[in-house]
Amino acid sequence: MKNLYLSSAKFDENLTQYYGLNEAILMENAANAIENLVRKKLTKGSRLLVISGGGNNGADGLCVARKLAGDYEVSVMLVSDKLNDMAKFQLNILKKLGVDFIFSYKEEFKFDCFIDAIFGSGFHGELSNEIVEILDTLNSQKGLKIAVDIPTGIDKFGGVKSVAFVADYTVTMGALKLGLFGDLAKDFVGKIKVANLGVSKTKFQSEKSPFYLLEKSDLTLPNRTKQNTNKGDFGHLYIASGEMSGASIMAGLAANAFGTGLVSLVSSEYILNLPPFLMQKSSFKDAKCVVIGPGLGDAKFDLKELTNKKVVIDADLCYRSEILEILDENFVITPHPKEFVSLLKLANIADISVSDLQFNRFKYAQIWSEKFRSVLVLKGANTIIVQNEKLFVSNFGSPALSKGGSGDVLAGMIGALLAQNYSVLNASISSVIAHGLAAQKFRANLYGLNPLDIIEELKWL
125 is in an annotated binding site: yes
Asked whether the whole model's pTM tops 0.85, one would answer: yes
In this structure, is residue 103 part of a structural domain?
Answer: yes
Helix, strand, coil percentages, rounded to 5, for the chain? 40, 20, 40
What are the Cα distances from residue 198, in Å, to 33, 63, 147, 227, 307?
11, 16, 20, 51, 53
225 is in an annotated binding site: no
81 is in an annotated binding site: no
Three-state DSSP at 19 gives helix
116 is in an annotated binding site: yes
| Co-location of 247 and 162 in the same domain | no
185 is in an annotated binding site: no
CATH number at residue 418: 3.40.1190.20
What are the Cα distances from residue 66, in Å, to 120, 154, 293?
19, 26, 58
126 is in an annotated binding site: yes
Alpha carbons 168 and 192: distance in angstroms, whole number: 9
242 is in an annotated binding site: no
The number of distinct structural domains making up the chain is: 2
370 touches 386 (CB < 8 A): no
408 is in an annotated binding site: yes
89 is in an annotated binding site: no
Which of 182, 206, 230 terminates a domain? The answer is 206
At 107 the pLDDT is 59
Which of 177, 206, 235 terminates a domain? The answer is 206
Length of the chain counted residue by residue: 461
| Co-location of 24 and 144 in the same domain | yes
Which of 154, 183, 206 terminates a domain? The answer is 206
What are the Cα distances from residue 120, in Å, to 53, 151, 205, 332, 422?
9, 7, 18, 36, 40
> What DSSP character marks residue 153?
T
146 touches 114 (CB < 8 A): yes
In this structure, is residue 89 part of a structural domain?
Answer: yes
405 is in an annotated binding site: no
436 is in an annotated binding site: no
In this structure, is residue 212 part of a structural domain?
Answer: no
Per-residue pLDDT of the chain in tens (461 residues, 90 and over written 9): 999 999 888 888 888 888 889 999 999 999 999 999 999 999 999 999 999 999 999 999 999 999 999 999 999 999 999 999 999 999 999 999 999 999 877 655 689 999 999 998 878 889 999 999 999 999 999 999 999 999 999 999 999 988 999 999 999 999 999 999 999 999 999 999 999 998 888 888 878 899 999 999 999 999 999 999 999 999 999 999 999 999 999 999 999 999 999 999 999 899 988 999 999 999 999 999 999 999 999 888 989 899 999 999 999 999 999 999 999 999 999 999 999 999 999 999 999 999 999 999 999 999 999 999 999 999 999 999 999 989 999 999 999 999 999 999 999 999 999 999 999 999 999 999 999 999 999 999 999 999 999 999 999 99
Which secondary structure element, helix H or strand E, spans residue 211, and what is its range? strand 211-213
Q: What is the span of the domain harbouring residue 180?
A: 2-206
CATH number at residue 89: 3.40.50.10260
At 162 the pLDDT is 86
Q: What residues have CB less than 8 Å from 60, skipping those under 6 apart?
A: 27, 30, 31, 34, 117, 120, 148, 149, 173
β-strand 236-240 against 262-266: which pairing, if any?
parallel
